Amino acid sequence: MARFHENLRTGTYAVQDVARRGLDRVLDRLPAPVRRVAVMPSVQGLVLVAVALAILLVTGPLSYPAYVVLLICVYLISVYGVNVTIGFSGVLSLGQGAAFAVGAYVAGILAGTYMWPIWLTLPLALLSGLAVGVLVGLPAGRLAALGLAMLSLGTVLVVSDMLVALDDITRGHSGISGITPFLSFDPDSYVLWEWFVPLLILGVAFLAFWFHARYRTSRLGRATAAVRDEPIGASAVGIGGYITKVAAFAVGSGMGGLAGALFAYLSVYISPDAFLPSLSILFLVMAVLGGLGSQLGPLVGVIILVIVPLMLAPFPHVNIIVYGVLLVLLMRLRPRGIFSRTAAAADPVRESLAIDSAGPTVAADADPGGQADGAVDASGTPGDVVLRAEDVKRSFGGLKAVDGVTLEVRAGEILGLIGPNGSGKTTMLNIIGGYYRPSSGTVWLEGVDVSRSRPQESARRGIARTFQTPKTFTGMSIDEHIEIAVQRQLDASPQRVAACRAAARALLVAGGLNPDDLRVGRRESRFLGHGQLRFLEAAMAIARCPKVLLLDEPAAGLSASEIETLENIVKDVARAGVAVIIVEHHLEMVSRLVDRIVVLDLGRVLWEGHPDDLHDAEAVRAAYMGTV
Amino acid sequence: MDQFIQSILLPGLSQGAIYGLIAVAFAVLHLTTGVINFGHGQLVVLAPIIILLSAAAGVPVWLAFLLGFAALLIAALVTEVVAIRPFVQSGSAVSWILSTFGVSIVLTEILAIPAGGEATYFPFGIPSDPFTLWGFRVSWAELSTLPALLLVAVLLTVFYRATRVGRELRAVGEDVQGAEALGISRARASQITVLISALIAAVTGFLVASSQILLPNLGIFFLFYGFVAVSMGGMNSILGAVIGGLVVGLVSQATAVYIGPLYGNLAVFTLLVLVYVVRPHGLFGARPVREV
Amino acid sequence: MASELVVENLTVRYGAVVAAEGVSLTVAPGECVVLLGANGAGKTSTLHGIGGLTPALGRVRLGDVELDRLSASRRARAGLGHVLEGRHVFPNMTVAENLDVARPRGGAKPPVEPLDLLPELKEHLGRAAGRLSGGQQQMLAIARAVAGAPQAIMLDEPTNGLAPKLVARTTEIIATLRDLGFAVLVVEQRLEVAQDLAADVLVLRHGHIVHEVKGTDPELPDLLHAAYLS
């Protein structure tokens, strides 16, 4: 039974992957200029609009098929909004129907009752939807999925009530009629041309389609997807998550409000019965069915879920039952991956990591013996103290993970932090990075107290790190990873930037990811092996040109030659002035690489000194391996 | 003062006890499985509606009650297997939110087909004829909710503290891997917990049907109010759920009286926002330690 | 009580990554086997595979009961005790409650009472387990496993993060368990545990068993050095 499930689940992925690969293969066969044009969202959008327009031309703008097509377009705008909120940011909102209703009523009241012009009612409907999103998003942005889901559910209930309660303006159950487009405040300026509203709807649908794609490739959109895929990895490059979530809520609701307004103009008459909670459910299922987060998914979802119920119209409750069953099935079949994680276009790596000034080149077979006796090199001895932790303590309940650790690192220095399991090394690293607050003690970064900083703040001040399990972004391409990192590059001299970029390139090469190969760059990170992800994560960290680089067991799972390459790259990075702290178990690598070693045991510093003296320290040997 | 008691305190506590029962069911399910069943509201009204339909079809009342209870148990068990068990303590809230939500949608619509979506009156419950007690107009249906809540809460607290099964259920909620390594089955724990919440739903449904009119969208309303109550109290706390329910009941009743009946949802919504802003883990909840 | 733990050709995969492959071992009652290896060698994955916490291929047998199709909790009830890495005590339940929940429902009693084996827990019975120190939690975790009256006990890095005195105490307890007749399988990073127990040692490297020696073998430190550092 379990095997059947497994096959079913991987089967669903397989179909999607095959479809995508087939599409890619077709696109790759096209000559380059045609391909570039074919993937542009504006072009795709125009094609879809042209198809819709053709249907309208054939059947006439006021016919029933035309109504279906236009309804699909209106719902599409709303579902693209849902896709931004849920698909891009992972924020589960169950209340798109509320924004839709608010937008519809704003337009309905202004146009139907007060006869305001359409070029004013539509933007106002958009803004009102946006306002709903911001209002719910502000408290919701800090909450986990459950809290957000419930708050959004609450807005649906509240809005339903308000539509009836505020019947002075909403006319309650009688509804509002006569929602026609006016061109000015003059009541005689209404538009009689029957193509006006249809063309407007097609136009806005095109804009929504295009905007949705552009949002994803914008700096904010990429950050949003990063937070969704791996919030810890995102915070490590300086992306906080709160703003991305509130923005996603706001934008998604704004699109819902706009869609609602267009629905009002399309239907000419609205009443509270058109905006039941089941509408929110419909939008949700449309987005989930098609594949949350993808560009064409919403289109598939909307088309299926508008056409099918129309066919089931004689059996009114059956559609909604079908939605419910679909939701349950989808969750079972894709329990870990309802987000269709697709990468968006990005600057290719070779552009992101372009080195303008001539910098040092890193060769994978550089002489390993040259640096064996210390960190003194051409650019001088290690510089000022960059990071200092003073008497740091941290307990978890009754467990004293870190019990008074003091250490410091200088610019250009490589510090090795070793110790047996449970000695507190990773906790120490997490405290420096801002993931845990010390129970007592202080951490200074270039003289600034960062003990209470959140991870993204520490990252923005100059700390970069890798993790024991690479925290890369599953659905994003290598190009995107590097672009995110480079967009968040810290201030540094041109030489240092050049050195860091060269090191980042070298790391990608070491991982078998040729930075100059465009096709490699487009590959999504979920297809990479574990070792490759390590190198990608390290490349991201270094591409930011940090002041302090924290490496958490970088050698785990790497072969001997890969470790050697890694060592050389780390040495180059340190030579450029970066302070490096490396937590490792691989004692030989640590001895070769670092300038200084700090040994932790049971949360305290057991020993500190030069790597050559390590093997002579009996206490260390006894503590670390029982015996060596 | 008398007016306050009559129009706010009594109805507020009485209705609040219903919300408290829902919240207690949420707390019980959450403390073991980490899941909130979005379909619980539907489970509450399921039994009364089935009873009504059976009685209307000519079935004798005692059999109708049996059928209603059986339907409730079946629906609960199906929900558990399909929408809860795969996600016990899984950490991925989106999956179980959507899947229990999906089940709730299905149940709502299935119930709507025969019931026609209209309000219905339940004649087999606790008498709701008003009488005078110490100068106040009350009914047995109203008076019985709070004692029922307290009884359920006390029984459950004793169950979770003093019985072996109760402790096993708590253990699964504390550390599901550790529990499994000791021989405690996560599937069995999830099943037992859902059955407990179904029993609570049966009691709740009976009380609800006795004291108010059954409306089709009552389910989503109970879901929201019960959730606000359990969030206020702390997601895993039975005592917190009781207090939260009563507070929600009083607030919504006071709002209905002083501002207007359609503003109740808005007031409760505001309450939820306040909880999240001031104390997101609730009165008796613990702040979670993050794993990196 | 006389049941041996037999593992044949165990393979544990996480997606494309092979954590352990072809692992075979036998632990007889009254015997102690230590699985040594560096971080990432696959030790915990192996135990999780045997215990059923992770899906795995291969055969697992306890006495004459085939375990490989059973869920983790069924395996535990069949007599496979498992002390997890990181202890996994129930933090908001008292020590007494932690122990109570571990006892078999049928009333079977272990050959020694957990509190007799670990009397240092007696003064903490009413305390919430989350408030115990690391060492105390480790003791509780072992006591819990014993309370289940198992036939075999697996311990995953039991000396992790413990001070030397506690390491010695833990080793002493494991030796007692072995002498009481349990089949004991210990996963460790530290060599001294294996040496003190004079146990059979299997060295794990990149998911494969590469050496099989006696704990007292003088070659062992060098073999280990090579396995850890290449």
pLDDT computed for residue C49 by the predictor? 93
Of the listed ranges B16-25, B27-36, B53-62, the one predicted with least confidence:
B53-62
Q: What does the block give as tokens for A43?
A: 């072009």
Cβ distance C100 to B174 less than 8 Å, yes or no, reads no
Residues of C in contact with B180 (CB under 8 A): 52-53, 71-73, 76
Residues of B in contact with A336 (CB under 8 A): 92, 95
Cβ distance C148 to B183 less than 8 Å, yes or no, reads yes
d(CA C160, CA C137): 12
Q: Which of residues 16-55 of B touch A (CB under 8 A)?
A: 36
Q: Is C38 on the interface with A (CB under 8 A)?
A: yes
Write down the residue that tokens 């959730």 correspond to.
B227
Cβ distance A399 to C134 less than 8 Å, yes or no, reads yes
Residues of C in contact with A399 (CB under 8 A): 133-134, 137
Burial of B95 (0-12, 13-18, 19+ CB in 10 A): buried
Task: Check pLDDT > 60 for residue C206.
Answer: yes
A582-603 tens-digit pLDDT: 998 777 788 889 999 998 888 8
What mean pLDDT is reported for chain B? 88
CB A379 within 8 A of CB A575: yes
Number of Cα atoms under 13 Å in the Cβ half of residue A293: 25
Query: Which chains touch A (3+ CB pairs under 8 A)?
Result: B, C
Closest C-chain CA to A625: C190
Task: Report which secondary-structure segment, H or E, holds C185.
Answer: strand C183-188
Once rounded to an integer, what is the mean pLDDT over residues C3-12?
Answer: 92
Cβ distance A587 to C190 less than 8 Å, yes or no, reads no
Bridge partners (DSSP) listed for residue B182: none
Residues of A in contact with B217 (CB under 8 A): 277
For A496, phi then psi, to 5°, come to -65, -40
Cβ distance B181 to C53 less than 8 Å, yes or no, reads yes
Cβ distance C105 to B180 less than 8 Å, yes or no, reads no
Cβ distance C102 to B175 less than 8 Å, yes or no, reads no
Task: Check pLDDT > 90 for residue B183.
Answer: yes
In the sheet that C208-214 helps form, which strands lie side by side, from edge to edge? C80-83, C152-156, C183-188, C32-37, C200-205, C208-214
**More confident: B87 or A13:** B87
Once rounded to an integer, what is the mean pLDDT over residues C137-149?
Answer: 93
Residue count of chain B = 292
d(CA C51, CA C36): 18
pLDDT computed for residue A104 by the predictor? 95
**More confident: A49 or B214:** A49
Cβ distance A422 to C131 less than 8 Å, yes or no, reads no
Closest partner residue to C84 (CB to CB) among B171, B181, B187 is B181
Of the listed ranges A5-9, A438-442, B110-114, C149-153, the one predicted with least confidence:
A5-9
Write down the residue that tokens 């206020």 correspond to.
B232
Residues of C in contact with B186 (CB under 8 A): 73
State how far residue A419 is from chain C, nearest Cα, in angstroms: 10
Task: Check pLDDT > 90 for residue B227.
Answer: yes
C173-200 tens-digit pLDDT: 999 999 999 999 999 877 778 888 877 8
For B148, phi then psi, to 5°, come to -65, -45
At A616 the three-state DSSP class reads coil
Distances (CA, A) of A247 to A101, A125, A419: 20, 17, 44
Output the CA angle A515-A516-A522, nearest 5 degrees. Answer: 70
Of the listed ranges A238-242, A593-597, B99-103, C188-192, the one predicted with least confidence:
C188-192
- Alpha carbon C137 to its chain centroid, in Å, reads 15
pLDDT computed for residue A578 by the predictor? 93
Task: Check pLDDT > 90 for residue C165.
Answer: no
Domain-wise residue ranges, chain B? 21-125+138-217
d(CA A593, CA A607): 18
Q: Which of A90, A116, A220 is nearest to A487 (CA)?
A: A220
pLDDT computed for residue A362 by the predictor? 38
Give just the sign of the alpha carbon dihedral C161, C166, C172, C178.
Answer: negative
Cβ distance C90 to B186 less than 8 Å, yes or no, reads no
CB A110 within 8 A of CB A318: no
Once rounded to an integer, what is the mean pLDDT over residues C23-44?
Answer: 86
Cβ distance C229 to A586 less than 8 Å, yes or no, reads yes
Q: Is C225 on the interface with B (CB under 8 A)?
A: no
Number of Cα atoms under 13 Å in the Cβ half of residue A251: 25
Cβ distance B183 to C82 less than 8 Å, yes or no, reads no
Enumerate the H helices of B57-139 as residue ranges.
61-79, 93-115
Cβ distance C101 to B185 less than 8 Å, yes or no, reads no
Closest partner residue to B174 (CB to CB) among C77, C91, C148 is C91
Enumerate the H helices of A268-315 as residue ranges.
277-290, 297-311
CB B214 within 8 A of CB B122: yes
Task: Check pLDDT > 50 for residue A452.
Answer: yes
Task: Report which secondary-structure segment, H or E, holds B43.
Answer: helix B40-56
For A118, phi then psi, to 5°, come to -70, -30
What's the first-to-final CA gap in chain C, in angstroms? Answer: 41
Residue A370 confidence class, pLDDT cut points 50, 70, 90: very low
pLDDT computed for residue B3 by the predictor? 81
C151 contacts: CB under 8 Å, gap ≥ 6: C1, C2, C3, C29, C62, C63, C79, C80, C81, C182, C183
Write down the residue that tokens 């009629």 correspond to.
A177
Residue count of chain A = 628
Residues of C in contact with B168 (CB under 8 A): 101
Q: Which of C201, C131, C134, C124 is nearest to C166 (CA)?
A: C134
Q: Which of B20, B157, B39, B151 is nearest to B105 (CA)?
A: B39
Task: Check pLDDT > 80 for residue B63.
Answer: yes
Residue C151 confidence class, pLDDT cut points 50, 70, 90: very high
d(CA A513, CA A520): 6
pLDDT computed for residue B118 by the predictor? 65
Q: What does the block give as tokens for A3?
A: 């095997």
Bridge partners (DSSP) listed for residue B136: B133
Burial of A380 (0-12, 13-18, 19+ CB in 10 A): exposed
Which of A94-103, A354-363, A557-566, C192-201 holds the top average pLDDT? A94-103
A141-187 tens-digit pLDDT: 677 778 888 888 899 989 988 888 888 888 888 888 888 888 888 88
Q: Is B74 on the interface with A (CB under 8 A)?
A: no
**DSSP state letter for A269:** -
Query: Which chains touch B (3+ CB pairs under 8 A)?
Result: A, C
Q: Is B165 on the interface with C (CB under 8 A)?
A: no
Task: Check pLDDT > 60 for residue A379.
Answer: no
A288-330 tens-digit pLDDT: 877 777 788 888 888 888 887 777 666 667 777 887 888 788 7
**DSSP state letter for B288:** P
d(CA C195, CA C32): 11
Write down the residue that tokens 């009364």 correspond to.
B48
Q: Which of C189, C209, C182 is nearest to C1 (CA)?
A: C182
C37-68 tens-digit pLDDT: 876 678 888 999 999 998 899 999 998 899 98
Q: Which of residues 245-274 of B touch A (CB under 8 A)?
A: 260, 262-266, 268-269, 272-273
pLDDT computed for residue A112 by the predictor? 86
Residues of C in contact with A556 (CB under 8 A): 39-40
Closest partner residue to A557 (CB to CB) among C40, C157, C190 is C40
How many other CB atoms are found less than 10 A from the CB of residue C86? 19
Q: What does the block give as tokens for B270?
A: 């505001």
How many other CB atoms are found less than 10 A from the CB of residue A437? 13
How many other CB atoms are found less than 10 A from the CB of residue A206? 21
What's the first-to-final CA gap in chain B, in angstroms? Answer: 55
CB pairs under 8 A between A and C: 63
Task: Check pLDDT > 50 for residue B290.
Answer: no
Task: Check pLDDT > 50 for residue A410.
Answer: yes
Closest C-chain CA to A603: C161
Task: Check pLDDT > 70 for residue A360.
Answer: no
CB A69 within 8 A of CB A302: no
Closest B-chain CA to A164: B262
Closest partner residue to B224 (CB to CB) among A157, A288, A430 is A157
Task: Check pLDDT > 90 for residue B89.
Answer: no
Closest C-chain CA to A628: C221
Write down the residue that tokens 């419930």 correspond to.
A150
Q: Which of A541, A569, A552, A550 is nearest to A484 (CA)?
A: A541
B180 contacts: CB under 8 Å, gap ≥ 6: B186, C52, C53, C71, C72, C73, C76
Cβ distance A281 to B105 less than 8 Å, yes or no, reads yes
At A238 the three-state DSSP class reads coil
Q: Is B281 on the interface with C (CB under 8 A)?
A: no
Task: Check pLDDT > 60 for residue A368.
Answer: no
For A110, phi then psi, to 5°, come to -65, -40
**More confident: C15 or B274:** B274
**More confident: A226 or A364:** A226
Cβ distance B276 to A143 less than 8 Å, yes or no, reads yes
Task: Check pLDDT > 50 for residue A364.
Answer: no
State how far residue A6 is from chain B, nearest Cα, in angstroms: 13
What mean pLDDT is reported for chain A? 83
Output the CA angle A7-A9-A14, nearest 5 degrees. Answer: 85
Residue B288 confidence class, pLDDT cut points 50, 70, 90: low
State how far residue A562 is from chain C, nearest Cα, in angstroms: 12
CB B125 within 8 A of CB B210: yes
Residue A375 confidence class, pLDDT cut points 50, 70, 90: very low
How many other CB atoms are found less than 10 A from the CB of residue A178? 12
Q: What does the block give as tokens for C226?
A: 């090579």
Residues of B in contact with C97 (CB under 8 A): 167, 170
pLDDT computed for residue B254 by the predictor? 94
Closest partner residue to A398 (CB to CB) among C130, C195, C230 is C130
Cβ distance C91 to A397 less than 8 Å, yes or no, reads yes
Q: Is B180 on the interface with C (CB under 8 A)?
A: yes
Task: Check pLDDT > 80 for residue A37.
Answer: no
State how far residue B12 is from chain C, nearest Cα, in angstroms: 34
